[in-house]
Structure formats: C-alpha cells, structure tokens
Amino acid sequence: MSGRDQAVERENRARERDRNREALLINVLRQHAQNRADRLIANINMANRDDHRNVARNVDVTMRGNQATNPAKRKCLTYGPDSVDYWANTEIEQETFSFLWSLRNYSAFNGSEEVKSPVFRGGPRSNHSWQLKMCPKKKSEEQEYFSVHLILTGFGDSDTSPSRKIKVRFQISILDADGRPGKQAGSATMNVCEFKKLSVWGYDKFILSTDLMSASRRLVEDDSLKIHCRVWIEGELKHKLANGGAAKRSMSEDEKSKRRKERLANDFGKIFRETVMTDIAITTTKTTFMAHKAILTARSTVFAAMFSVNMLEKELSTAAIADFDDDVVKGMLEYIYTGETELMGERAPDLLQIAEKYDLPGLKEDCEYVIAEHLTFDNAAEILVMAHLYNAGYLKPRVIDYINCNKEEVKKTKSFQKVTQAHPNVFVDLYLSQ
C-alpha cells in the first residue's frame, strides 16, 4: 500500500471514531432527558394524589421559608424608615477653623518671655476671638522647652456670663520647610478641653528648644518658624426629625413655608425667562431684557422712584443701564425675580456694586458673604476698598480682621502698596501697627 493510500486510510478511521463518539453523546443526552421527564411525571402524579389543604399548607410554608432566608429584605420591610411613623438623626455640631502664625527673625526671640499672636476669629457661626501664646525657652527640670498654648480671649456675642464655657479640641503643629507638620500635638479625637473666657490650654513641653533649632529637623528655616493651629468647637446636640413612610401626616410649618417660597421663585423666574406680560425694557449696551414694573418697584426703591414720578423711564417704559456688563444686569434681574443667581460665585464683586446702586439689600448681603469667604493676601486690600466704597457693613470688619491677622503677608503684596497710595482714606480704621 502506497503512502497516499495509508494517509487516506488513517483519515477514514479518524472520521469513523468521531462519528461513534457523536452517536454515543447523543444517546447519553437522550437518556438523561428521558430520566428527567420520568421524574417530573412521577412528581406530578404524586402531587395530584395530595389533597388541596396540604398543597395550601406547603405553599404557605414555602413563602414563610423564603422570607426567613432573606433577612435583609425582612429588615427593610419591618425596621426601615419607610415602616416607622417617625425617624431622626442626631449629631453634635462641630465647627472647625484654623490659624497660621509665622514668626520671622526667630533667633531674636531667644529669651524666656512669652509672645502672643494677633487675635484671630473662630468660624463664621461662633466668631469667638482667640490667641496663640509661645515661649521659646521655658525652663523645666533643668531643660529648656518651646511651649505653646491656645487662649480664648472672648466670645463672639453679648453673652458675658462668667460661668460660660465651650468644649474644644485643638491641634498645634510646627511646620517644616516643606510646609508639613514636623512636630504635632493634639487632634480631633483628643479629650475635650473646656474653655472659659481667658482660659489657657496647651503644652509647656511641646518640644525641646535644642530639637526645635536642630538643622536636621528643618523646623526653623531661613530664621522663620510657622505654627499652625486647628480648632474644633463642639456645639449642642442637633436633631433632624422627619415623618417615616408609615406616617400620613402633613408637612411642618417650616416645610410648608420653604415649599411656598420655592414655588414663588419658580413661578416668578418663569415669567421673567418667558417674558410673560412684561411692560418695561431694561437695556444695556448690547442687550435688552424685558421685565415688569410692579416687580422691580416692589424689590428696589430706586426702580420704584423711576416709575412713580414723571421721569423718562416711566414715559418710555425703558430703563438704560450702561455701566454694567450684560451678565451682571441679567444676574441682578434673576435675583430680583427668584432670590438667587448662578453668577453669584464669579461675579459677586460686580453684583455687589449693582446691588448698592439699585438698593437691593438681599443681593448685597449675599455678595458680601461670598466675597468674605474668598479673602486672600493678594486681594484683601482691594476688597477693603470695595467694602468701604459700597458701604458693605458685614464685609468691611471681616476684611479688617483678616488684614490685621495677616498684616505682614498682606503688606508685602503689590496690590496693598498700590491701593494704599490711591485710597489712603480707606485705611484710617485699619490698625496695621497692632
């Protein structure tokens, strides 16, 4: 037999083996299917012999068994917020703020006398006044230590009760040359310290004076020392109570009031956006906004004066605003109609100016809050001028406190030097020498 014939023979035998394996597999599958069908028929016949009461009982047991094997679902149905009449969350309010104190020419502080920082303020709610106190070389047990303490110099309101106290946790850090804590004490989880007015808490032995000056630790770099203090003030217990899904009760009066205000804002915003029944045109150098005299009159005494006497705006039903950008005018009108505007963040200084011009105290106040939260060394002087020029009663004292607490950094900026020359009268009540 030739080689070709042998190859053909091997191929034929391989095909025959494949066909045999395929036939065997088919037979196995058929037998398996037949066995399953036989068992199913037997089960059906057995079930048909049972009475209906047993079937009902088995179904009930099966349902209860499924619930028992799904504890998460049972818990949700029985104990979740949707299954109770009321639910509540309780937490202790905590207000956090921080302060950075830079001591330049630190080698000059070489004695054992205590040095206090400028007064700095607490958070936006408490507004308490604080100071840090440090001593470069406090002697104890024949060694010299750098000591540092936190002082509550006063409360931020009119309550002068001598027994008044607040619960405080604090953390004091000395920053290294890279701005990271090189030595640190205290934390948000430390034991609570109770501060009364003029209470002093801190560390007499914060760090050995020799360790502080060690070149390897880099805590005093370029003869400068930076102390960072973070304070956590614990407030009262705060509860949030609401109806659960099982309660069919009406909303609280506060909820109803909030809902009414939201609906009013939505409705008035709609008539402004869709120019429904407008009767006055507010024109800028590029754009015309249609509005309503009655709404502008109700919100602004300046617009009220325009439309109540024989002025050109009343006769022509047009008011021109050429000294502000289109976006600023639109933002003002949005606020008049709805009580808010998306431009508040980026255009707050311009909105403050237009609010002052058209006597919109709500818009002006909101702008002051936003601007105060974005104070920096570079813009503090310019914001002080703005607060002075536009009679910003909340913003001005906040800027003055900020500059006094950071006077060395602010005085070095170009904007401060420029502004003090252009507006020297603005800085009369700014005590930079303190």
Which of residues 133 and 48 earns the better pLDDT score?
Answer: 133
pLDDT of res. 21: 61
Q: Are 279 and 317 in contact (CB under 8 A)?
A: yes
Q: Is the pLDDT of residue 310 over 90?
A: no
Q: What is the dihedral of CA 370, 372, 373, 377, to 10 degrees?
A: 130
Pairing label, strands 181-186, 143-154 = unpaired
Query: pLDDT averaged over the chain?
Result: 82
Q: How does DSSP assign 356-419, residue by residue?
A: HHTT-HHHHHHHHHHHHTT--TTTHHHHHHHHHHTT-TTHHHHHHHHHHHTHHHHHTSHHHHHH
Cα 222 from Cα 105, distance rounded (Å)? 8
Judged against a pLDDT cut of 70, whether residue 201 lies above it is answered with yes
Highest mean pLDDT among 123-127, 130-134, 257-261, 382-386: 130-134
Is 122 in contact with 154 (CB distance < 8 Å)? no
Residues 157, 163, 164, 167, Cα dihedral to 10°: 150
Q: What is the mean pLDDT of residues 360-380?
A: 92
Q: Supply 259's token pair.
A: 């809902």
Q: What is the average pLDDT across 284-296?
A: 92
Q: Which amino acid is at 365?
A: E
pLDDT confidence tier of residue 80, bands split at 50, 70 and 90: confident
What is the full DSSP assignment across 254-296? Answer: HHHHHHHHHHHHHHHHHHHHTTTT--EEEE-SS-EEEE-HHHH
How many residues belong to the chain? 434
More confident residue, 26 or 182: 182
Judge contact between 242 and 85, C-beta under 8 A: no
Whole-model pTM over 0.85: no
DSSP string of 192-240, one letter each residue: PEEE-TT-EEEEEEEEEHHHHT-TTTT-SBTTEEEEEEEEEEEEEEEEE
Q: Which residues make beta-bridge pairs with 115?
A: 134
Higher pLDDT, 422 or 99: 99
Q: Which amino acid is residue 244, in one-letter code? A: G
| Structure tokens belonging to residue 193 | 């310290």
pLDDT of 316 higher than 80: no
Report the b/e string of 62-92 with b at 16+ CB within 10 A: eeeeeeeeeeeeeeeeeeeeeeeeebeeeee
β-pairing, 166-175 vs 224-243, is antiparallel
pLDDT at 231 over 90: yes
Mean pLDDT of 173-177: 94
Q: Is the dihedral of CA 251, 254, 255, 260 positive or negative?
A: positive
Count of beta carbons in the 10 Å neighbourhood of residue 182: 19
User: Is the pLDDT score of 62 beyond 60?
Assistant: no
Place of tokens 């909303």: 251
Query: Residue 244: pLDDT band by 50, 70, 90 thresholds?
Result: confident
**Taking 50 as the threshold, does the pLDDT of residue 367 lie above it?**
yes
Kindly state the DSSP code that residue 190 receives in the 8-state scheme: S
